[in-house]
Structure 1
Amino acid sequence: MDQYLEVFIKVVEKENFSKAAEELHMTQPAVSQYIRTLEESIGTRLLERSNKYVRLNKAGEIVYHHAKEIVALYTKMQSLVEDLTNNASGPLAIGASYTFGEYILPHIMARLQEQYPLIYPSIKIHNTKEIIELVNSHQLDIGIIEGQFHEKTLNSEVVSEDQMVIVAPPHHRLLGKTVRLSDLEEETWILRETGSGTREASENLFRMYNFNPKKVMEFGSTQLIKESVEAGLGISLVSRWAIGKELKNEYLGVLNVEELPFKRNFAIITHSTYQTKSLKTFIETLRQYMADHEQ
């Protein structure tokens, strides 16, 4: 049944039988037969078909959601069985929030691939809220997130502290001076979107010091925020991990604010205590990298 679900998932995601068949290295009639057999076993149609599109109906939405979980669990089961006799190898689905995923994870992956070339990772980068949801639904083997974690159905472990600082354009009038957070009330603050770990850190900082910026702009990526600050659009609270190159090249400056640096946690989250050798190896590599690069 897992192969029927995999074919179904591919048709849904490609929205086309021919494209799904090409990617699966199957003929289109074979793909169509797989879908018909699956629909017969479920007892209802799952897809609405026309000459231009293939779309999920209500029943199809239910099956698609659970099919993703079933296929992920089946893959994990296979990996656990293979681990009984083999070395760390096989697929590993990793998710990370933006700061960790964009500025730290690539270096960990380079170390992992050098030492364990038989591990085949796939990586998804989303905000913290989305990463938690993907781990919860078994679509990721592990997630690395920023900030507070309250989900009781998942296992979590803090792996490092992250220092948050306020960055400003390179010629900002307050650079080189010691200021208080209250002195920055009139500044334009550029913040990440709701659901982001960096946004949560900003809100925690503001709440801690009863601070209410008068003007806030919301952007969807750290890179966009850095470019905007450099251009003089405003200031922002960001991770020190994210600004190494900008500080070295003097594209940004760090304001000396009495209440800072503000610290938050990086944590790993997993769905089960049963971990494949690949996952255990990745976690060990991650821990060692973070220990070697403590801020």
Structure 2
Amino acid sequence: MNLQNLRIFLKVAELEHVTRASEELHLSQPAVTKTIQSLEQEIHLKLLERQGRRIVLTHAGRVLKEYAFQIFALEREMEDELTALRDVEGGEVRLAFNRTAGVYLLPLVVSRFRARYPQVTLHISILNSPEIVQALLNWQLDFGLVESESSLCPAELYVEMTTRDELILVVSPTHKWSKVQVLPIAALGQGELIMREEESVIRGMIEQALDRHGVRMHSLFTLTDNEAVKQMVMSGVGAAIISAFSVQRELMRGELVHVPVSNLDLRPRLSLMRREDKLLSPAARAFCSVLSPILEHGLETIRGLALEGE
């Protein structure tokens, strides 16, 4: 099978759109269409079918897409290994962090890595944890940091290292809970909480914890972004249970107050995962060596940065 034809098919499969694929590949639309038809004739199977104005992959198309991901991931590994033989500081790293770690941990990691390995190209994505797991399974990443317990890691993936976050209740200094020594967990059902969307892993953890204590949550409203939640709380709109990573600077400055909650101990695990059968390039291994001590001292590292900012 011609690899260039397979590369063209993969772009069409990713975008599910022939015209956009042709534009990204700098090819004419008829040329892309002809390539797909040639592949279909070669394997005697239909790869695409039309549903109204859009195209979708057939079962054969989905199978070929998965293998194409693996083939080109292996091709990138080969190129990285050959590059490393020429220049140990060259190569590329493809990684993804979940949204909280991507905002509050990743900049520190990248800054330290770039200082030591300026020639390495980084391809970084900020995704939800389920999206990262799927991208790892599809051979699209070298590794990804996800909010997940090691026991929930898919069989094809390997947990390289882990750290713990902490979920804490925060309010503004003017909020009615700001002077409370320890808040009864039942108070969290009073409609004061600003919550993330229902699909959020963090929201799921909070709801499960409250359910265990017979507390039914009534949220004030929901937002899809941690920073938006934080700004709302700082403005005195309501309270939030949020990642301790995300609020260290505001706690140091007195812009937010941490309110302990009785019987509530939420410490989600952050796991750095990769495919067990994927060979990491020297560049990817170097990135792991920079990331490892930062993850090992995760929350302490962020607190230290907050103190430096003061």
Partner of 1:113 in structure 2?
A: 114
Alignment of 1:173-252 (within 5 A): 173-179=176-182, 180-194=184-198, 196-203=200-207, 205-206=209-210, 210-216=213-219, 217-248=221-252, 250-252=254-256
**Cα distance in 1 for residues equivalent to 2:202 and 2:217:** 19
Partner of 1:104 in structure 2?
A: 105
Cα deviation for residue 155 of structure 1 reads 0.8
Alignment of 1:32-51 (within 5 A): 32-48=33-49
Of 278, 284, 287, which residue of structure 1 is paired with 2:283? 278
Alignment RMSD (CA, Å): 3.1
SS in 2 for 1:89: coil
Alignment of 1:48-59 (within 5 A): 48=49, 55-58=55-58, 59=60
Q: Deviations over 1:188-212 (max 9, x none)?
A: 33333455442344245435x6252
Q: Which amino acid aligns with 1:275?
A: L
**Cα distance in 2 for residues equivalent to 1:183 and 1:97:** 30
SS in 2 for 1:257: coil
Residues 210 and 293 of structure 1: is their aligned pair in 2 closer, same or farther, counting only changes over 3 Å?
Answer: closer
Q: Which amino acid aligns with 2:259?
A: L
**Cα distance in 2 for residues equivalent to 1:2 and 1:168:** 56
Q: Does 1:156 align with 2:152?
A: no
Q: Which amino acid aligns with 1:162?
A: D
Q: Which amino acid aligns with 2:244?
A: R
SS in 2 for 1:281: helix
**Cα distance in 2 for residues equivalent to 1:65 and 1:219:** 34
Q: Percent identity?
A: 26
Q: What is the aligned residue count?
A: 293
Deviating more after overlay: 41-50 vs 93-102: 41-50
Q: Conserved in 1, the CA contact under 8 Å of 2:234 and 2:256? A: yes
**Cα distance in 2 for residues equivalent to 1:284 and 1:110:** 14
Cα deviation for residue 20 of structure 1 reads 3.1
Partner of 2:144 in structure 1?
A: 143
**Cα distance in 1 for residues equivalent to 2:161 and 2:15:** 38
Cα deviation for residue 108 of structure 1 reads 1.0
Q: Does 1:266 align with 2:270?
A: yes
Deviating more after overlay: 273-282 vs 70-79: 70-79
Cα deviation for residue 146 of structure 1 reads 1.9
Q: Deviations over 1:237-263 (max 9, x none)?
A: 211111234435554332133446642
Q: Does 1:168 align with 2:171?
A: yes
Q: Conserved in 1, the CA contact under 8 Å of 2:234 and 2:255? A: yes
Please report the TM-score for the alignment, with normalisation by the length of structure 2. Answer: 0.79
Q: Which amino acid aligns with 2:175?
A: H
**Structure 1, unpaired ranges of 5+:** none
Partner of 2:303 in structure 1?
A: none
Q: Conserved in 1, the CA contact under 8 Å of 2:209 and 2:264? A: no
**Structure 2, unpaired ranges of 5+:** 301-310
Q: Deviations over 1:225-247 (max 9, x none)?
A: 22333444532221111123443
Q: Which amino acid aligns with 1:134?
A: A
Residues 70 and 231 of structure 1: is their aligned pair in 2 closer, same or farther, counting only changes over 3 Å?
Answer: farther
SS in 2 for 1:159: strand
Cα deviation for residue 174 of structure 1 reads 1.2
Deviating more after overlay: 152-161 vs 187-196: 187-196
Deviating more after overlay: 66-75 vs 282-291: 66-75
Residues 282 and 141 of structure 1: is their aligned pair in 2 closer, same or farther, counting only changes over 3 Å?
Answer: same
Partner of 2:305 in structure 1?
A: none
**Cα distance in 2 for residues equivalent to 1:42 and 1:78:** 28
Residues 112 and 200 of structure 1: is their aligned pair in 2 closer, same or farther, counting only changes over 3 Å?
Answer: farther
**Cα distance in 1 for residues equivalent to 2:180 and 2:257:** 12
Residues 57 and 286 of structure 1: is their aligned pair in 2 closer, same or farther, counting only changes over 3 Å?
Answer: closer
Q: Does 1:134 align with 2:135?
A: yes
Residues 66 and 196 of structure 1: is their aligned pair in 2 closer, same or farther, counting only changes over 3 Å?
Answer: farther
